[in-house]
Amino acid sequence: MLLVFIWLAVGLAVLAYGVIVYNGLVNLKHAIGKAWSNIDVLLKQRHDELPKLVETCKQYMQFERSALEKIMAARAGSQQAREAGDVKAVGRAESALRGGLGSVIATVEAYPELKANQSIQQLLGRITGLENAIADRREFYNETVNLNNVRIETFPDVMIARMFAFKPAELLHFSAEETADVDLHALFSQ
């Protein structure tokens, strides 16, 4: 009789541990979704600001259309990748968008009337703030993805993860230029 209680206690302990591991993995899976949603909101906000910047710049830069067209094409590519849930494609498109934005900033620097334009300065300030927030959220997202991927590969969590088909998530990577510190305000103080 004592042996039955011991086996029952061991069985309940194993079951409780399995439930705890499963719930932890579910929490991580949903944390990844939440972190991605936070990035997505910021990307949408930045993408909403870019057409305003492009339109304001067009008034001054009739012959600099290639830089503006590059931003709008990258914006469209990023939006398509986000809608498809393709994290790698979002990283590539956002890198291209960031490169186009750098071209516009360099062009703005070449035009004193653009540099002095209050609307452009406000839009660039808003975009800079969004860039910083995206970087912060990307760091949080990647940390959550890393925690998930480590847990589903380590013993004994791997047994529960395989049993319930938990999948690894993809890190959000941008190009090497994207990881460098970019201070848009410094570009205007030259």
Q: Whole domain around residue 116: which residue ranges?
A: 2-188
Check residue 180 and report its DSSP letter: S
Q: What is the pLDDT along the chain (190 residues), one digit of tens a residue?
A: 888 899 999 999 999 999 999 999 999 999 999 998 888 888 888 888 888 777 777 766 654 667 777 777 888 888 888 888 888 888 888 888 887 777 777 777 777 776 677 777 788 888 888 888 988 898 999 999 999 999 999 998 999 999 999 999 988 877 655 444 444 444 334 3
* Cβ count near 100 (within 10 Å): 22
pLDDT of residue 62: 59
pLDDT of residue 180: 47
pLDDT of residue 7: 93
**Displacement of CA 183 from its chain's centroid (Å):** 19
pTM greater than the 0.75 cutoff: no
**What sign results for the dihedral spanned by CA atoms 173, 177, 178, 179?**
positive
3-state secondary structure labels for all residues of 3-67 = HHHHHHHHHHHHHHHHHHHHHHHHHHHHHHHHHHHHHHHHHHHHHHHHHHHHHHHHCCCCCCHHH
pLDDT of residue 142: 92
The domain tally of the chain equals 1
Q: Which amino acid type is present at position 22?
A: Y
pLDDT of residue 63: 46
pLDDT of residue 127: 84
CB of 75 within 8 A of CB of 97? yes
The CATH number that applies at residue 15 is: 1.20.1440.20
Burial per residue of 21-53, b for 16 or more beta-carbon CB atoms within 10 angstroms, e otherwise: bbeebeebbebbeebbebbeebbeebbebbeeb
Q: ω into residue 51 within 30 of 0, thus cis? A: no
